[in-house]
Chains A and B, each alone.
Chain A
Amino acid sequence: MTALSENTRHFLIEVCKKYHNDEHELINVLHEAQDALGYLPVEVQHLIAGELNIPDARVYGVVTFYSFFTMVPKGKFDISICMGTACYVKGNELILDEFKRRLNIKVGGTTPDGVFTLTTLRCVGACSLAPVVSIGNKVFGNVTPLQVKKIIDEYMEKAEELH
């Protein structure tokens, strides 16, 4: 285990305190921690477990149970393919395959340059726009396999601008 920075430790202790170090507030604590840190490595889980006075295994059990929590850092852009039924019926698998092929990563993976993470999500409820891909707060509707390259290029450019 690598040590957490003093700032991070301090932040996490404060978050736990805000929830009265109550073990029943574990999920709320984890939400806040992930919002700030981006992911929940074992070091973070260990510290939270200590603060809430519960075993590490309880925290680990919760983190791995819920798909919202992640133990690995994500790329700059999280490309999420909607896996809802309406999107499935409208051919989301072809879209997902094309993203996998072009980025050369599996679902849940991050490109070596740290730009893209490819994930799937359950219905976003924008079923009339199916198939849907969401990146950050932006929702792309009626996506076709041919559009995939364009979308990737667009965000590659953004990533370069950020550099």
Chain B
Amino acid sequence: MENTIIKFAMGTCGIASGTQDILNLFDKELSRLNYPARLVRTGCMGHCYAEPTISITLPDQEPVYFGNVNEERAREIIDHFLLKGDRTEGIIPPEGDFSRKQFKIALKNCGEIDPEEIQEYIDREGYKALMKCLTSMKPEKVIAEMKASGLRGRGGGGFPTGVKWENTRKSKSDQKYVVCNADEGDPGAFMDRSVLEGDPHSVIEAMIICGYSIGANKGLVYIRAEYPLAISRLKTALKQAREHGFLGDNILHSGFSFDIEIRYGAGAFVCGEETALIHSMEGMRGEPTFKPPYPSVRGYMGRPTCVNNVETLANIPAIIRNGAEWFAGIGTASSKGTKVFALAGKIKRTGLIEVPMGTTLREIIFEIGGGIKGIKKFKAVQTGGPSGGCLSEQYLDTPIDYENLLQAGSMMGSGGMIVLDEDDCMVSMAKFYLEFSIDESCGKCAPCRIGNKRLHEMLERITAGKGTMADLQKIKDLSVVIKDTSLCGLGQTSPNPVLSTLNQFHDEYEAHIEARTCDAHQCKELIHYVIVADKCTGCTVCFRNCPVEAIYGDKGAVHTILDNQCIKCGICFSKCKFNAIIIN
């Protein structure tokens, strides 16, 4: 009889939630009970809302997922589920269906296999695609297959991957490079990290296939130094791939040689742009340069270079194994396959999900994500990070693909999806993204360096209640100039969050300017905390919790908030049990 298999989701967030302790507890208890089980450390299972997450597969049965497994629940699971065979609390999904609408290609192995055991990858058809290429496909045939599949870059731009490969193949040079862009910089996006933490071999396999197709024998992974776990799992995977003969000289006796090195980022968002990334790998400041020449002609060290993002690469082994037709059969007319999204914000089930292109925002947010947390109302969803925009309710039924999102004033981006409710101020949201772009602008060209600063100043005035209606036109004009005249993608897209909120939430901008109110109660200069006299019992809770002594009043007497001393931290508001504090 097969042993019971217990898998522990141990990506960065699983570990931060204490999964290691749970694993230790299972290990100790099960060996004490002499219970035959195999414990497996996997990557992220995608149920971020319910970490720590584990899955249990009893012999000859389907796996069962358990969420929010703390120590108490772990003991319950051992006592009831494992020993007595009873169903216990905490089984995922408790309501609706998190997985029914999902379709996994890039994340197929994440949360299923131990990323540090190459054999588990091989057992799930790993390196089969590479063998197929090396034994029965000419490089031209692989590229034709890639083109036919319709796969487009998942880092945001959406450039057809097959065309990129073909262009690099056509460039003549004695040395070419394959680069994996793992400099995931969008705040709120963590799919690349999860793929590298959960299934590094799929990325390695794809890089070797790419090298074979374009005629390169050297690969480089450019990865953020902020991802220590992904780096260590990638290193282990590279070592194992070498030991198995998938990397190195004369791979699988085909005569083709290829190896991969790691390069570290050092914290610069702009390095996600391919020319900036290449400069950074060469040991220089990560400043973008003008294209053309494209990296496929002149890239790393002046040689033809093919840069692909992590998620793009993770799709490739499956495309080669199952054929281009299979992949092209998924998705919409212009966008094939699936997309991974990191769902976060004011949503019930945050998580890492993968859906076919063409799925609507409503299906993602309300069916997979379970809708808005609490009793609040949906306001908008932000996609595309600092380069994208906010989409209001009217776009909920738009099928997601590259073109539709662009048309709606946002973009695909790398796949961060932040859901906002009525408590979120859209002007502040635009300001937040602009601050990010200002921080991360490399400063090379004036429209981005200076223009965004001026845009930010105008938004500051508006959120402080000092804006004018004339500012709105200025914001629009300046945004267009920045978009048209910046050199790289960062500058060209940085005004998007401002423009999209201005288009879709014009009334909110007007309210900040004309009525000087922020309905979401987020703009500190526009709100005042006030105590309602007939509700206040004089219990002194607010008085005692105020960090700046801005509240006075004796016990039993009505308290008062001194507006000029108040720092609007909101502690009194959340502490008052009598709803006696209101926001004006």
Q: Please report A residues at the B interface, Cβ cutoff 8 Å.
A: 22-28, 30-31, 58, 61-62, 65-69, 83-86, 88-90, 94, 97-98, 101-102, 121-130, 139, 141, 144-146
Query: Contact residues of B with A, CB < 8 Å?
Result: 12-13, 16-17, 48-49, 51, 185-190, 193-194, 225-226, 263-269, 280-286, 301, 342, 344-346, 350-351, 382, 385, 416, 418, 420, 424, 432-433, 436, 442, 545, 547-548, 567, 569-571, 574
Residue contact B424 to A68, C-beta cutoff 8 Å: no
Q: Is the CB of B282 within 8 A of A24?
A: yes
A129 CB contacts on chain B under 8 angstroms: 13, 16-17, 51
Is the pair A85, B286 in contact by a Cβ cutoff of 8 Å?
no
Given contacts A23-B283, A128-B351, contact A122 B187 (CB under 8 A): yes
Q: A85-B188, A128-B49 given. 20 additional CB < 8 A pairs? A: A27-B264, A28-B264, A58-B284, A61-B285, A65-B442, A66-B268, A67-B267, A67-B268, A68-B267, A83-B436, A84-B187, A85-B187, A86-B345, A122-B226, A123-B186, A125-B12, A128-B344, A128-B351, A145-B547, A146-B545
A62 pairs with B285, CB closer than 8 A: yes
If A66-B266, A66-B267, A85-B432 touch, whether A121 touches B226 (CB-CB below 8 Å) is: yes
Contact of A127 among B190, B263, B266 (CB under 8 A): B190
Most chain B beta carbons < 10 A, residue from A22, A25, A97, A126: A126
Known contacts A62-B285, A98-B569; A139/B190 CB under 8 A: no
Q: Which A residues lie within 8 Å of B547 (CB)?
A: 98, 101-102, 145
Known: A65-B268, A101-B547, A139-B16. Contact between A83 and B283, CB under 8 A? no
CB distance from B235 to the nearest CB of A (A): 14
Contacts of A139 in B (CB 8 A): 16
In the complex, residue of chain A having the shortest beta-carbon distance to the beta carbon of B194:
A125
Nearest B residue to A19 via CB reads B283
Partner of B344, one of A67, A130, A146: A130
Contact B570 A125 (CB under 8 A): no
The CA of A88 and the CA of B386, in the complex, are separated in Å by 13
B162 to chain A, nearest CB (A): 30
Q: Which residues of B contact A88 (CB under 8 A)?
A: 187, 432
For A83, the chain B residues whose CB sits under 8 A away are 187, 436
The reply to whether B51 and A128 form a contact with Cβ atoms under 8 Å apart is yes
Q: Which residue from chain A places its CB closest to the CB of B225 in the assembled complex?
A: A68
**Beta-carbon contact of B193 and A125 below 8 Å:** yes
Q: How far is the CB of A141 from chain B (nearest CB, A)?
A: 7
Taking a contact as CB atoms under 8 Å apart, the answer to whether A86 and B344 are in contact is yes
Q: Which residues of A contact B382 (CB under 8 A)?
A: 85
Residues of B within 8 A of A130 (CB): 344
Name the B residues within 8 Å of A26 (CB-CB).
283-284
Chain A residues, Cβ within 8 Å of B442: 65
Q: Which of A27, A58, A69, A145 contacts B280 (CB 8 A)?
A: A27
Q: Which residue of B lies closest to A54 (CB)?
A: B283
Given A27-B283, A128-B351, A145-B571, are A85 and B13 neighbors across the interface (CB < 8 Å)? no
CB distance from B576 to the nearest CB of A (A): 13
Q: Which residues of B contact A62 (CB under 8 A)?
A: 283-285
CA distance A90 to B570 in the complex (A): 13
| CB-defined contacts of B264 to chain A, threshold 8 Å | 27-28, 31
The 9 A-B residue pairs with the shortest CB-CB distance in the complex, in nearest-first order: A125-B190, A66-B266, A128-B48, A26-B283, A84-B187, A127-B344, A67-B267, A68-B267, A86-B344
With A and B bound together, what is the CA distance between A98 and B265 in angstroms? 31
Q: Is the CB of B266 within 8 A of A31?
A: yes
Contacts of A23 in B (CB 8 A): 283
With known contacts A86-B344, A88-B432, A127–B48 Cβ distance under 8 A: yes
Contact at B342–A127, with CB atoms within 8 Å?
yes
Q: Are A123 and B571 in contact (CB under 8 A)?
A: no
Are A86 and B188 closer than 8 Å at their CB atoms? yes
**Interchain nearest-CB distance for A88 vs B (Å):** 5
Contact A69 B266 (CB under 8 A): yes
> Which chain A residues lie closer than 8 Å to B574 at the CB level?
144
Complex Cα spacing A121 to B227, Å: 12
